[in-house]
Amino acid sequence: MELEGANYVDLPEMKDSLGWDYCQLECAIYNEAVKRGLGSYFAEEGFLGELSCGHPVYYQQRCIPFSEITPDYSEKTEKRRTSARATCKQIEMYCFNSLWIADFLEQYGADELARLNAFLKEMDIGDLRDCNIGYLDGAPILFDYSGFRQWD
């Protein structure tokens, strides 16, 4: 199955988009997040250069995926998850992982979660599952935020 097209967002860096280049899209999203004061919620990604064949090469900060940790399911954790789900409902956010969101709320607060949610919607970032979210130096972070688009 071939990748035929990355999600499109109307950002200056995407005007010469290669169409299939998910990393280019992530770089554009990351740079826009930085401009808006949301950069610390996204793993840094940048362009390194091109191979001799012209193929682009990128880097991204190394994060610990949520899928690789063993969550604590204590009574306290369940209360935090319930509270996170309530906050998501209040700000009309899809609660993609209540424990990660609870950690985000604890680290940054509800106002920042609302700002992040608005940005996620604007950039059409929706593929946030346990293998695309995680932690960097103990802080919740998104590291696979270009989505996945395949056209039939």
Question: Is the backbone of residue 92 left (phi > 0), alpha (psi -120 to 50) or beta?
Answer: left
pLDDT digits (tens, 9 = 90+) for 26-42: 899 999 999 999 999 99
pLDDT digits (tens, 9 = 90+) for 45-66: 999 999 999 889 999 999 999 9
What share of the chain has pLDDT > 70, as a percent?
84
The CB-based long-range contact list for 89-93 (8 Å cut-off, 24+ gap) reads 91/117, 92/117, 93/117
Confidence at residue 22, expressed as pLDDT on a 0 to 100 scale? 80
Confidence at residue 25, expressed as pLDDT on a 0 to 100 scale? 86
Cα–Cα distance between 62 and 144 in angstroms, integer? Answer: 11
pLDDT digits (tens, 9 = 90+) for 86-126: 999 999 999 999 999 999 999 999 999 999 999 999 998 88
Cα–Cα distance between 90 and 99 in angstroms, integer? Answer: 17
pTM summary value: 0.86
